[in-house]
Structure 1
């Protein structure tokens, strides 16, 4: 038997004996895994399929098993994953007649997925809360909360009734108290409360009954025996699979001899001409961006594949460096003509993120490109990429889990704000990958360059040339009392004779320098392959600024409106002031020509300054491009991407004010403006020298 924590010596026999030793291991652990399977499935054929596919996947992924968790926990995670895949394949579950379920399993079937997982793994499989938390990728406290809600749900399903009125602030203590792990001060407080609270006594008593039932499950479930021929049937299926695999390999070997001769010839050509790598990737990789990385030996080509509910995901390649980790993928809908993309902020999860990745690192966003030639070739295939945080080691394996994809269609830009695509809903599934990555080196160059933007000093101090991006590091001075730069926009960066475009979707993140008067920013540009800087120039485009300009206007709902006041060189109108619940204030300024501000920073106060605790704003506005052309997006669709450096002017502000605490009428008394935002256009080419 393999111990809970296995070392390299104990796993070696499994690798040597191949799939047979994995079957032996399952034979020794079949009872606990069979009971785990019964919690999810109700038929021996379904159970056999679950074991069969789990053994195949364990065998396939065994070389990647790491000893940061127990072997049994690792196998359990695969077992649960395979069950979920099978549950999405309704055709499989419908092929066999469902056998009658025991009452306990019927109750389990009524739980939410996360509740069922936590309850089954803790009480049926007998895992510790720490192991369950690791497997389900949540905190131990979160597991306790899920177990609590799961037991509450089981209590209803097991006939205890839906109505219990225990005090909610003590719910979090139930499990720790019954397991005798509640710390002493909290335990004393809880028991004092129980003594005086009849509702909590009844609530805890019924909760305890269900929890004791769960704790005694291992003994109760011993009567559920694994069928005698269960393992033998699995061995027969696996032997047949191996027989077919060997036949296929023989055919591939024959074909391989022919290609090998051509390959050797091409290798010889490459030795003398250096042309083979370009020719090879031109033949085999249609994604031009990935191809460029591969041709410069900056990435790893992969062919990992997983399928769920008819949607197949292939991981085509990765590029990892100090900046980020790029993952190139292909998604194929095998059932319909649909295209799906990944959103790395929704439905994409790195299981071992805390172990392998820099939690503070950059993670970019890349919108779908439906206009590329490769994404126009097939209606059911989409090629894309996602950005993950940079890895914190020289090499490793990213455990990527995907639970949701977004369906996308090409769309008229006029109907979709200029984006050229629409998100048409989600595709739920379960795709799992173990992606090997190797971090490629980056080169940093110290810079010396300064400029001023609207009188505010800006200095450039470093250039990072990484495989996935070129990063410009710069600092902005914060000493000016009445204005500051919120964001500096660039057109391009020129290194020697090469220009690289700014990444419009890369966020500019910042941190405070040791000198508190400066803030450090980074801006990302397209990659520079193998370029050694001699000259560095940067083209500025615009700056977003905040101006402090304090002004107070008294309001009186008993007076007639509109009334006007002067601010920042403009005449602003207060069109309406109404007391009520909610109160209403409307402010407008339609004169945008030569207007200094775009949006205002303000607050509205009532007679009691603490009375207003809810303020909702509704705005109207226009866009004006660099040449003064105005676009009213409230009247006509606007292709935002096609407007040259647009400025967004708010023309009407409708404000509703409420007192949610007392429900009393609000009477607006004062409009207090603190400052405003504005964009300033720039056309400066800054020459930067290397230190």
Structure 2
């Protein structure tokens, strides 16, 4: 979904023009400092991937609301920091995921109070000015200066040095300005005279300066793990492709014969059979119809209207996974369609007390292509996911002050949305439906990598498989498993290919836990489950360094992973350009490379672009820049990078080498695993 940024002058031109692709490129250009910020909060690469993924999507959503008076970078960082806070539930950094030369500094940063940590990372990692940091954190510039000093002191103490230093308090507040050379000459002279005569302040200042230098040195040496951004971009690409998916749904029956109802009632069909028949005739939304036919939830038909826009809450389905709200919006004045964006203009009164805030809300993309949403130009049917309830029964006081107008006709592949304000208030009675959990305890290997199946959750709104991936693998690791389906009680439930989520509670740092979501089955008991795989995304470590000699003529070729790669161009200038390519797709093992371009200078800025093709099972190629295609209709697609070009910003920066760390590849599977289940019994206190 493309959301236009209109003509906001605070946005970079490419952001205004290209939307989410340019946002991804902006994050890639700034990935080093952003990754370091994320590491200071999270200490876990998979969590930081989730951080980048969420931040890119949120920035894309928020673009129309970016203020022209605020720089694009500050606006992005405010979103980035907010998501950092939300994800930092686990306060311990895993030492195995932080390399030695900056391990100590990040261990010391992590336990600092939030504001102290934030001013340090924004000032010394992101390089913001004190005024910019103050604007972002909504504090004064003087407070930023005080927080920098106290943060550096805490950092020094946390690294085991500084407890015995006792400088003069009236001069301590001048340390940062002095070390950063921000003092005017008269104050500098007075300060240096005092330092010359005060041994305590000499030692205190020297120790603080050592911490600042160590901090800067650690950040200068810091590098992003190879392949990190490729993983994020792949998730974004998959998410965007979902927006183009068209679901095949049956057209509703537009007429109900009163005689059929009378006959059914006369025959006494008030049983489940009548319920299924009744909702088949009366409920046009097929997804909601399935819930109602399974006796999960009930019709509500709550209505509220503002300026001719009528919102109807049709039903609320709640369980331990989420609270699904099905809605319908009708424009009674014109032929416009509106949708609800759950994270913009939607509020729940007393949310912390009635809902579980330790779970992530699921995002359901708008279904612009459904037949139901194309039948009437002034009506839109949708759903939003809210957190699960804490109690079995509750009343959700839902307040909506903004809806999104859908812009674009039915022939458009992409839609944009524009916010419109109003006031719609609802009191929604909800009863939480029970779910069943089973322990699986099954270990297997996929492509030689250990995989562990831990739990099966049968909930009314979703069927969930929890599994773990071994993180200790060095030469080969699984980045993601894509499932095809599960078979439970002879019923097959298809996997949501875009519904995998990271489990934030990780009891064993050697494993990373994930949840894969499948369609609801409305089953409550089972003694076994059959899991069919679809594919795995792998990262393979294979090191190679290719010297970039600017005195040579290009193109030059080299061999890697069974393929011949061409270095097409190495041009020194403003900027310096490096281009390499491989157009040979047949039998190629790698899809994209994990690499770095080493230069004589440190702290360089690099801007990258790439070309690629999608290749199906039979070798047919789909050019992403030419004729449109539906990604989901391609059989066993693989995304191959063919050309990668980079601009190295600076004054005649000389590239020294292309350092390749490894590559990504996709393996398609057709394996089926059969697992016995063991019921996990719950009581009021939790699980026992």
Shorter-chain TM-score above 0.5: yes
Does structure 2 retain, via aligned residues, the 8 Å contact 1:323–1:362? no
What TM-score does the superposition give when structure 2 sets the normalisation length? 0.59
Q: 2:470 aligned with 1:477, yes or no?
A: yes
How far apart are 1:604 and its partner, in Å? 1.1
Distance 1:584 1:274 in 2: 68
Does structure 2 retain, via aligned residues, the 8 Å contact 1:535–1:690? yes
Match of 1:669 among 656, 665, 686: 656
Give 1:646's aligned residue: 637
How far apart are 1:512 and its partner, in Å? 6.3
Distance 2:407 2:486 in 1: 32
Could you list the per-position Cα deviations for residues 329-369 of structure 1 after superposition, in whole angstroms to 9, with x for gaps in the alignment? 00111222122222334444445433333223132222333
Does structure 1 retain, via aligned residues, the 8 Å contact 2:600–2:654? yes
1:171-250 map, 5 Å: 172-173=139-140
Give 1:634's aligned residue: 625
Give 1:315's aligned residue: 313
Distance 1:458 1:173 in 2: 50
Does structure 2 retain, via aligned residues, the 8 Å contact 1:323–1:469? yes
Gaps of 5+ in 2: 1-66, 68-113, 116-130, 144-149, 151-168, 178-182, 185-257, 679-688
Does structure 2 retain, via aligned residues, the 8 Å contact 1:611–1:666? no
- Distance change in 2, residues 1:316/1:352 (3 Å): same
- Distance change in 2, residues 1:269/1:447 (3 Å): same
Give 1:331's aligned residue: 329
Give 1:514's aligned residue: 507
Distance 1:589 1:428 in 2: 51
Q: Secondary structure at the match of 1:293?
A: helix
How far apart are 1:373 and its partner, in Å? 4.5
Q: 2:425 aligned with 1:438, yes or no?
A: no
- Distance change in 2, residues 1:529/1:169 (3 Å): closer
Q: 2:293 aligned with 1:306, yes or no?
A: no
1:446-457 map, 5 Å: 446-457=439-450
Q: 2:551 aligned with 1:558, yes or no?
A: yes
- Distance change in 2, residues 1:536/1:654 (3 Å): same
- Distance change in 2, residues 1:669/1:373 (3 Å): closer
Does structure 1 retain, via aligned residues, the 8 Å contact 2:338–2:403? no
- Distance change in 2, residues 1:315/1:636 (3 Å): same
Give 2:404's aligned residue: 405
Match of 1:388 among 386, 389, 402: 386
Distance 2:595 2:671 in 1: 33
Q: 2:350 aligned with 1:359, yes or no?
A: no
Does structure 2 retain, via aligned residues, the 8 Å contact 1:341–1:382? yes
Higher share in helix? 1
How far apart are 1:516 and its partner, in Å? 3.0
Give 2:665's aligned residue: 678
Does structure 2 retain, via aligned residues, the 8 Å contact 1:339–1:409? no
Distance 2:632 2:531 in 1: 22
Could you list the per-position Cα deviations for residues 375-400 of structure 1 after superposition, in whole angstroms to 9, with x for gaps in the alignment? 34322111111112222332333334
RMSD, aligned CA: 3.9
Give 2:480's aligned residue: 487
Give 1:459's aligned residue: 452
Q: Secondary structure at the match of 2:328?
A: strand
How far apart are 1:546 and its partner, in Å? 0.8
Bigger relative contact order, structure 1 or 2 (CA pairs below 8 A, ≥6 apart):
2
How far apart are 1:167 and its partner, in Å? 12
How far apart are 1:687 and its partner, in Å? 1.3
Does structure 2 retain, via aligned residues, the 8 Å contact 1:561–1:574? yes
What TM-score does the superposition give when structure 1 sets the normalisation length? 0.58
Give 1:618's aligned residue: 609
- Distance change in 2, residues 1:346/1:600 (3 Å): farther
How far apart are 1:320 and its partner, in Å? 1.0
Give 1:200's aligned residue: none
Does structure 2 retain, via aligned residues, the 8 Å contact 1:325–1:390? yes
- Distance change in 2, residues 1:463/1:381 (3 Å): same
Does structure 2 retain, via aligned residues, the 8 Å contact 1:370–1:410? no
Q: Secondary structure at the match of 1:481?
A: coil
1:520-539 map, 5 Å: 520-539=513-532
Could you list the per-position Cα deviations for residues 120-144 of structure 1 after superposition, in whole angstroms to 9, with x for gaps in the alignment? xxxxxxxxxxxxxxxxxxxxx99xx
Could you list the per-position Cα deviations for residues 301-348 of structure 1 after superposition, in whole angstroms to 9, with x for gaps in the alignment? 222222333222111111111111111000111222122222334444
Give 1:148's aligned residue: none
Distance 1:495 1:172 in 2: 55
Does structure 2 retain, via aligned residues, the 8 Å contact 1:409–1:423? yes
Give 2:208's aligned residue: none
Could you list the per-position Cα deviations for residues 56-94 of structure 1 after superposition, in whole angstroms to 9, with x for gaps in the alignment? xxxxxxxxxxxxxxxxxxxxxxxxxxxxxxxxxxxxxxx
Does structure 2 retain, via aligned residues, the 8 Å contact 1:442–1:465? yes
Distance 2:498 2:666 in 1: 19
Does structure 1 retain, via aligned residues, the 8 Å contact 2:327–2:382? yes
Q: Secondary structure at the match of 1:269?
A: coil
Could you list the per-position Cα deviations for residues 247-282 of structure 1 after superposition, in whole angstroms to 9, with x for gaps in the alignment? xxxxxxxxxxxx9xx99x9599356x5555445544
Distance 1:555 1:287 in 2: 60
How far apart are 1:531 and its partner, in Å? 4.5
Q: 2:657 aligned with 1:658, yes or no?
A: no
Q: Secondary structure at the match of 1:591?
A: coil
Gaps of 5+ in 1: 1-111, 113-140, 143-165, 177-182, 198-258
Distance 1:380 1:631 in 2: 36
- Distance change in 2, residues 1:267/1:393 (3 Å): farther
Give 2:78's aligned residue: none
Distance 1:274 1:486 in 2: 44
How far apart are 1:444 and its partner, in Å? 0.8
Could you list the per-position Cα deviations for residues 642-666 of structure 1 after superposition, in whole angstroms to 9, with x for gaps in the alignment? 112311101000101113xxxx331
